[in-house]
């Protein structure tokens, strides 16, 4: 267990070393999420904490995927058009695939706590379109030193749907426990 945690921190350190601009990006995302949480929550008629966390999660996705890299992997301006299935090793060890799966996972979980339904639908459609837009940006903005991959889109969407499933399960348990608590107090 601790081996995987050490590997995770090692991999995170490597990611920071390759994208030194990401730190400033995370600070900017935090400030923007804090400033826009309340106005966006009023617009969506939803909870400002959930909206702020969603803004932060979307911003983190953009920072992690669109900051320039120091080293280039593959040829910029190319797109790998293959799909695949994540292996067990991809899911357990910190790899590019596991990061892509985890990238939109928090967005999926937070979606289940957003209200009203129209806001959930709008944010879900944005979350589905985001991986495609990111991969297009990585393809067309060659100065980022990144490459486009359909496999990234696939793993991002799987992570989003897994987050929605886990979020719905948490919400269901939360609702049942709250209902039992209300019945006990009566």
Q: What is the pTM of this model?
A: 0.86
Nearest to 74 by CA among 22, 11, 142: 142
> What whole-number distance in Å separates Cα of residue 136 and Cα of residue 149?
9
Q: Domain limits of the chain?
A: 2-185
Residue 117, CA distances (Å) to 39, 84, 105, 173 in order: 18, 33, 19, 20
Tell me how far apart the alpha carbons of residues 108 and 12 are, in angstroms, rounded to a whole number. 22
> In 72-107, which positions are buried (b, 16+ CB within 10 angstroms) versus exposed (e)?
eeeebeeeeeeeeebeeebeeebbebbbbbbbbbbb
In order along its 186 residues, the chain shows pLDDT tens digits of 567 677 767 777 776 777 788 889 999 999 999 999 999 999 999 999 999 999 999 999 999 888 887 777 777 778 888 877 777 777 777 777 888 888 999 999 999 999 899 999 999 999 999 999 999 998 998 888 888 888 899 999 999 999 999 999 999 999 999 888 888 887
The tokens for 74 are: 């593959």
- Nearest alpha-carbon partner for 95 in 6, 8, 5, 2: 8
Tokens read off for 179:
């209902």
H or E stretch covering 149: strand 148-149
Give pLDDT, residue 181: 80
pLDDT of residue 2: 65
């Amino acid at each position: 267990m601790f081996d995987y945690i050490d590997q995770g921190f090692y991999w995170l350190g490597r990611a920071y070393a390759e994208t030194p601009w990401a730190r400033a990006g995370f600070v900017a995302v935090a400030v923007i999420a804090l400033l826009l949480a309340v106005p966006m929550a009023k617009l969506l008629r939803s909870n400002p904490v959930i909206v702020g966390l969603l803004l932060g999660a979307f911003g983190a996705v953009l920072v992690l995927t669109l900051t320039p890299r120091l080293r280039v992997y593959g040829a910029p301006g190319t797109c790998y058009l293959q799909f695949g299935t994540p292996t067990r090793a991809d899911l357990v060890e910190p790899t590019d695939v596991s990061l892509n799966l985890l990238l939109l996972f928090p967005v999926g979980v937070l979606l289940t706590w957003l209200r009203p339904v129209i806001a959930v639908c709008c944010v879900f459609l944005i979350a589905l379109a985001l991986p495609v837009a990111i991969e297009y940006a990585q393809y067309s903005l060659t100065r980022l030193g990144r490459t486009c991959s359909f496999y990234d889109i696939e793993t991002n969407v799987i992570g989003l749907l897994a987050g929605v499933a886990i979020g719905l399960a948490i919400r269901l348990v939360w609702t049942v426990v709250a209902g039992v608590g209300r019945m006990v107090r009566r």
